[in-house]
Amino acid sequence: MEGSAVLGFLFCLVTGIQAAGTAQQGTGLVGDGSLTLSLLQVEAAQTTPPFYLGFATAAPQIEGANATDGRGPSIWDTYEAIPGNIDNGDTSAVADDFYHLYLNDIAAMRLLGVKRFRMSIAWPRIFPSGDGQVNQQGLDFYARVLEALLVAGIEPHVTLYHWDLPQALQDRFGGWNSDQIVPIFAQYAATVFQALGDYTTHWTTVNEPWTFCFLGYGQGSGAPGINDKVQAWNCVHNVLQAHAAAVKQFRALVPGGKISINLNCDWAQPLTGAPSDADAAQRKMEFMLGAFADPIFKGDFPASVKQRISFLPQITPQLAADLNGSVDYFALNHYTSTFVANQQGAMGLQGACDYTETQVDVNGKLIGDQAESDWLKVTPWGFRLMLNWVNNRYQPNEIVVTENGMSMKGESAMPMPQALQDTQRVNFCRDYVAAATDAVNLDKVPMTGYFAWSLLDNFEWGNGYSKRFGLVHVDFKTQQRYYKASAKFLVNLFNCTVLDPTYTYPSD
């Protein structure tokens, strides 16, 4: 669609919604009543945080259309098809149908005044077999999405890889377990940069390699479903090589752009005041975050990792040189915190680590309020500590929080009007943003951006559709969307320009 046509669509959509009047339940409309904010929340919204707001998504979680317009199968398509892997037998085949409804979702953000949107490119939509023949229909789709975002005044932040490895590469040589993936990923990156690099200057190479390496290859609880610690650490090494190779392409093809890699980490709080527990907590941070960030910023794996993982691949001088300067900002995904205790001989997800983790203290008290996801406890104090740890260890010029959010306890079982009043999520956003604000204002952490996860309720990996992280509620039967209170709260908090909170998606 040409830019003028996109602009015309968005103009008609916005003006049509503004003229729609008072919303009514059951029609896909959200009225002002469902977005009521408490006095405390309104007062909190009067102080604008010292960093920008964005909403985040991922292609395999929202796009659907998995067999449409030449898209090839991914390892998650294969993993989802195995009975028992996904709650309720759900699949991502339709998800939020963003592939067909993207203009509506962009209009939704435009109406909220959102200025930044994080998204990912589906590798199997560009190269159905992982490499070889380019699927032009896939590139054209993302060009349309990016063009529409720009027309709507929304800056795209684009990730090349969010876990959807083409199944063909897993079949051919074991995917991320083999260094054969490095030149293939570089080719994929170059293709995307050449075709889409003019649309945005903000990119990341790979999202949460800790998760897909250690859950996907090391534990088997995600695609491709392999339980092998050696393969997991090979994955780490190959991700680092692939990241460096992609950044070389980026420097040549997107001059003036910024690029990073999305790294996730929980805050590790010592279980007791014992020095051994403090050391263990530090070790947990080095295993989870340092395994990726240390090679980039310091030229090698942390000593604690090298001492304990006998089969750890080496960071060669050439790779260290390639990784040096390969990120222009530190992209951090953070959700929760955990207690850590020293225990010699303990084995963890990443192999021999000499520590154990728990989410209850020595008195049996939870580290924070329980979210719907069993792993997620609400710990805003840990967010501030996490930001300081990153800043003190790596001293980046800029930190962007590329994911932060929660699944509200009991939300999936709630009637929709109750779910729209997502008070626990509103409080989560308020407290985590406040913690980050203190990190910036009081601790001088150079955090510049905050992306809330997620724009939409979506396919939540192994949990299917049973867990909801969205700021916008999705009725997966009808694909109708409804703003939640948390969406309205965030745009008020960041002083976004709300054109009209009374809003509906078109039936198309």
Give catalytic residues, as residue numbers.
Answer: 403
Q: Are 390 and 440 in contact (CB under 8 A)?
A: no
* Residues linked to residue 35 through DSSP beta bridges, in sequence order: none
List all residues 6 or more positions away from 42 whose beta carbon is below 8 Å from its beta carbon.
492
* Nearest partner of 145 among 3, 258, 257, judged by Cα: 3
Q: Using only C-alpha atoms, what is the Rg of the chain? A: 22
What 413-422 contacts at long range (C-beta under 8 Å, 24+ apart), as own/partner pairs, is 416/25, 416/473, 416/475, 416/482, 417/25, 417/34, 419/468, 419/473, 419/484, 420/30, 420/34, 420/35, 420/473, 420/482, 420/483, 420/484, 420/485, 421/34, 421/36, 421/484, 421/485, 422/484, 422/485, 422/486
Q: How many CB atoms lie within 10 A of CB 367?
A: 21
List the Cα angle 283/284/288 in 5-degree steps.
120
**How far apart are the C-alpha atoms of 470 and 467, rounded to whole Å?**
9
* Residues linked to residue 268 through DSSP beta bridges, in sequence order: 338
* Nearest partner of 387 among 324, 334, 453, judged by Cα: 334
Give me the phi and psi of 435, to 5 degrees please: -65, -40
* Nearest partner of 289 among 308, 263, 250, 316, judged by Cα: 263
Q: Are 330 and 392 in contact (CB under 8 A)?
A: no
**How far apart are the C-alpha atoms of 166 and 173, rounded to whole Å?**
12
DSSP one-letter string for 132-201: SS--HHHHHHHHHHHHHHHHTT-EEEEEEESS--BHHHHHHH-GGGSTTHHHHHHHHHHHHHHHHTTT-S
The amino acid that residue 450 corresponds to is Y
In the 8-state DSSP scheme, what is residue 407? P
Q: Quote the tokens at residue 429.
A: 């956003």
In the 8-state DSSP scheme, what is residue 74? B
Give me the phi and psi of 190, to 5 degrees please: -60, -40
